[in-house]
Structure 1
Amino acid sequence: MMRAQVRLPRWLIRIAVRMLRVPTSATVSVTKDRAGSTGVRVYTPTGARSGAGLLWIHGGGLLFGDAKQDEALCLSTAERLGLVIVSANYRFAPEHPFPAAHEDVLSTWRWLIAHAAELGVDPERVVVGGESAGAGLAAALVQRIHDEGGVQPCGQWLFAPMLDDRTAARRELDAEQHFVWDNGRNREGWAGYLGAEPGAATVPDYAVPARRTDLSGLPPAFLTWGDIELFAGEDLAYAEALRAAGVSVTTDVVEGAPHGFENWAKDAPVARALVARAQEWLRGVTAPA
């Protein structure tokens, strides 16, 4: 018999995340700064730098989270690849619906590009990435940057991205009770972000990445997800739509893996292996031309 998942209240999750104890590293310095209305964490290698950068966006279903929750991944990536990483904070739904979070990560992108010289980053070698809701925000941000022109990211690094509100509208998925992130919570996140029930005929531009019909001209993408998680179908569909639009796409589907396992089970061999593969893709896409 499947045991029902215990859902903690959103306020308690937010407090718990803020109290996270994070790892330390002797080879990466971590500082805090401001980018628009939100704070950022900047990870700077103390050793050799590649000259490339990563804008990273944390997950939390659009409802909670903090940049420091992905400290282990950011430290590892900065250290192994010599990247400067700017990890973004943003405002949460439902108190701050779209476009609040989108505008916050856009402000962080603009801050990173404006400060590229002092950060030691080549603005032409910056990737936008994230996990879960953060990966969805990253995908939408890449679309917005493409449409506005100017300096473009050289890649998008997406871990189990939350891309499509129409998944939340599929009530038959509720019974599956996906581990970590189920469709009831998914519907709560999308409804709070959109300010309306998910699955409407139309949504605002950049609110739902999977709703965009023209994906041509976007940068190369790395997408990974577990084959048993709620987002498996929408992530596969987005990868296929990118390929159909002529975008270079690398997918890494992990068998038997639930949502976000590379974060909360980061010391498991399968998680370490995935992160290593993802980092090698990142190394290649940020290499000097």
Structure 2
Amino acid sequence: MIDPELAAAIDLSRPPLTADGIAERRAANRVVTDVELSRGGSVTFTEEDADGVPVLVLRPAGVPEGPPVLHVHGGGMVAGTRRSDLHVLAEWVSELGVTLISPEYRLAPENPHPAPVQDCYRTLTWMERNGFGSPIVAGTSAGGGLAAAVTLMARDYGGPAIRGQLLIYPMLDDRCETPSSHQFLDGTIWVRSSNITGWTALLGDARGGPDVSQFAAPARAADLSGLPPTYVDVGSVDVFRDEAVGYASRIWQAGGDAELHVWPGGCHGFDQLAPDAALSRRARATRLAWLRRTLHL
């Protein structure tokens, strides 16, 4: 059951995403304004080029550049921009003094796997060459899955070094066969059929088959050892609930460091869609606390 405060604040009647509806979904994306990004003048931002990937770089105003966070936006692999999600996440810059880099990765279906994750990893290597330091790699929804994939790439390719990964209701498993995937068929923001549409756009006919790479769907990884400290959160009313819980559990089983939160009554994207709700404020404060500890702020 969705938290009553969230249910009152969020339009839960949005139709499921279909392949024919991708263009309409993109056109309906929330536009984050310059005023929202600046957070009353506490944040400055620039558009930069990361080896061919457009990035938005947010910095704390009036202070030396802070510890870096690479944040990957959501959008089901098919929508969103480098400004997506930042009307809320700019508080990481204003509250903690971090420098946040948000890449404009290529979207499916026009650019299927591996294009999106390649753009995110290219941004990470650009950050290393340009002296940003070892970042937290974070992501929201589809961006959470891409953040997890970039972290696996960095482990398997021998770098760049990553200080931690922060996965916000991440999209991790193309098979869409967990109990929560079958549980939420309607009545919430991102339902099973929408999820299948997004994964099919990314992977085509390979979706759900035996040959999907861990760098496309991180839940496919056979080995989750050797990963940096990890934060995973998800709502209890989310198709991604069980794959997120499973990912954190497998990190523990591999001897790793993971912090997991399942927010009771939280639907997909709840903190973005109803940022003033009590549950959203709790979720954001808990992420900030993990970032502060992990960055030693």
- TM-score, normalised with respect to structure 2: 0.88
In structure 2, how many angstroms separate the alpha carbons of the residues matched to 1:19 and 1:210? 31
Using the TM superposition, give the Cα deviation of residue 50 of structure 1 relative to its aligned residue in structure 2, in angstroms.
7.2
Structure-1 residue corresponding to 2:27: 15
Could you tell me which amino acid in structure 2 is paired with residue 155 of structure 1? G
Is the 1:131–1:160 contact (alpha carbons within 8 Å) kept by the matching residues of 2?
yes
Deviations 1:216-271 (A, max 9, x none): 11001000000111010111111100111111000111001100111111121211
More displaced 10-residue stretch of structure 1: 44-53 or 88-97: 44-53
| Separation in structure 2 between the aligned mates of residue 281 and residue 19 of structure 1, nearest angstrom | 28
When residues 278 and 50 of structure 1 are mapped into structure 2, their CA distance, relative to the original with a 3 A threshold, is: farther
Rounded to whole Å, the distance in 1 between the matches of 2:208 and 2:44 is 43
* Corresponding residue pairs, total: 280
Task: Give the TM-score taking structure 1 as reference length.
Answer: 0.90
Aligned to 2:194: 185
Q: How does 1:134-213 map to 2 (within 5 A)?
A: 134-167=143-176, 173=182, 176-177=185-186, 179-213=188-222
Match of 1:27 in 2: 42
The equivalent of 1:85 in structure 2 is 100
Letter in 1 for 2:191: D
CA change 1:197–1:5 in 2 (3 A) is: farther
Separation in 1 of the partners of 2:141 and 2:279? Answer: 18
Instruction: Tell me the distance in 2 between the aligned counterparts of 1:256 and 1:175.
Output: 13
Listed one character per residue, the Cα deviations across residues 123-177 of structure 1 (whole Å, up to 9, x for unaligned) are 13x1000100000000000000111113311100110000001116989827732
- My pick for the range that moved more, 57-66 or 31-40, is 31-40
1 CA distance for matches of 2:180 and 2:90? 39
Report the 3-state secondary structure (helix = DSSP H, G, I; strand = E; otherwise coil) of the residue aligned with 1:150: coil
Q: 1:226 aligns with which of 235, 239, 253?
A: 235
RMSD (Å), alpha carbons:
2.2
| Structure 2: unaligned runs, 5 residues or longer | 1-11
Task: Please tell me the residue identity of whatever aligns with 1:270.
Answer: L
Q: Which consecutive unaligned segments of at least 5 residues does structure 1 have? A: none
Higher relative contact order (CA 8 A, sep 6+): 2
Give distance in 2, aligned partners of 1:197 and 1:39.
29
Residue 40 of structure 1 is matched in structure 2 by 55
Distance, in Å, in 1 between the alignment partners of 2:268 and 2:150 is: 22
2:144 is the alignment partner of 1:129: no
User: Quick one: distance in 2 between partners of 1:172 and 1:141?
Assistant: 24
- Residue 170 of structure 2: SS of its match in structure 1? coil
- Please give the alpha-carbon distance, in whole angstroms, between the structure 1 residues aligned to 2:79 and 2:13: 22
